[in-house]
Amino acid sequence: PTDAIDFAKKMLGGIYNFDQVEVAKEDLRDAITEKAPNSILSRALTNTKNNLKRTLTRQPTTVTQEDLEYIATIYEFRNGNLDILAGTFGQDLALMRSSPPASGEEFAERLLRGD
CA-closest candidate to residue 73, choices 85, 91, 60, 87: 85
76 and 109 housed in the same domain: yes
Within a domain: residue 60? no
Question: How many structural domains are present in the chain?
Answer: 2
Q: How far apart are CA 108 and CA 102, in angstroms?
A: 11
Domain range for 31: 4-51
Residue 39: inside a domain, yes or no?
A: yes
- Shared domain check, 95 and 71: yes
User: What local confidence, expressed as pLDDT, does residue 60 receive?
Assistant: 65
Tell me whether residue 59 is in a domain.
no
pTM listed for this prediction: 0.47
pLDDT tens string for the chain (115 positions)?
A: 789 999 888 888 777 777 778 878 887 887 777 777 777 777 887 888 888 888 887 766 778 899 999 999 999 999 999 999 999 999 999 999 999 999 999 999 999 888 7
In sequence order, which ranges of 1-115 are alpha helices (DSSP H)?
Answer: 4-12, 20-32, 40-51, 65-77, 82-89, 93-98, 104-113
- Is 42 inside any structural domain? yes
